[in-house]
């Protein structure tokens, strides 16, 4: 399950970078840029497997909230292409939340 999530998220990074470039922007490419743009935090303490799953669920739920906000912003600006990209990602995060909840 975790490998599938990793692969999906890596694909999203590529899709977002392509969309940024398509819209005339410069996609971030360095670790420093990624860290500066990050909205989720990394845990520095060891966790039980149950705590890891709960943290992962919380992070996916947070991404759903962030994506919903950005989808509305894109739609308000008439950027349906970006909104569609984000909706696809939202569906993925919602599905992962459902899968993790079934494991907890």
**pLDDT of 40:** 87
Prediction pTM value: 0.88
pLDDT band at 6 (very low <50, low <70, confident <90, very high): confident
**pLDDT of 93:** 96
Q: For 9, how many CA atoms within 13 A lie in the half-sphere containing its CB?
A: 11
- Tens of pLDDT, residue by residue over 90-103, are 999 999 999 999 98
Read off the CATH number of the domain in which 17 is found: 1.20.1260.10
The Cα angle at residue 75 between residues 73 and 77, in degrees rounded to 5: 70
- Tens of pLDDT, residue by residue over 11-37, are 999 999 999 999 999 999 898 998 899
Nearest to residue 48, comparing CAs of 39, 38, 56?
Answer: 56
Range of the domain at 62: 2-40+49-103
34 burial (CB, 10 Å; 0-12 / 13-18 / 19+) is exposed
CB 36 within 8 A of CB 42: no
Stretch 42-46: mean pLDDT: 87
Backbone angles phi, psi at 82, to 5 degrees: -70, -40
Instruction: Tally the domains of the chain.
Output: 1
Residue 77, token pair as written in the block: 């600006």
């Amino acid at each position: 399950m975790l490998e599938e999530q990793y692969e999906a998220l890596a694909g999203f990074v590529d899709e977002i970078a392509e969309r940024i470039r398509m819209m005339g922007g410069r996609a971030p490419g360095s670790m420093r840029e990624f860290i500066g743009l990050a909205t989720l935090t990394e845990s520095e303490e060891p966790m039980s497997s149950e705590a890891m799953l709960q943290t992962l669920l919380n992070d996916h739920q947070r991404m759903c909230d962030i994506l919903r906000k950005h989808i509305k912003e894109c739609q308000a600006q008439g950027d349906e292409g970006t909104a569609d990209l984000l909706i696809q990602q939202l569906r993925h995060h919602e599905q992962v939340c459902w899968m993790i909840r079934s494991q907890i």
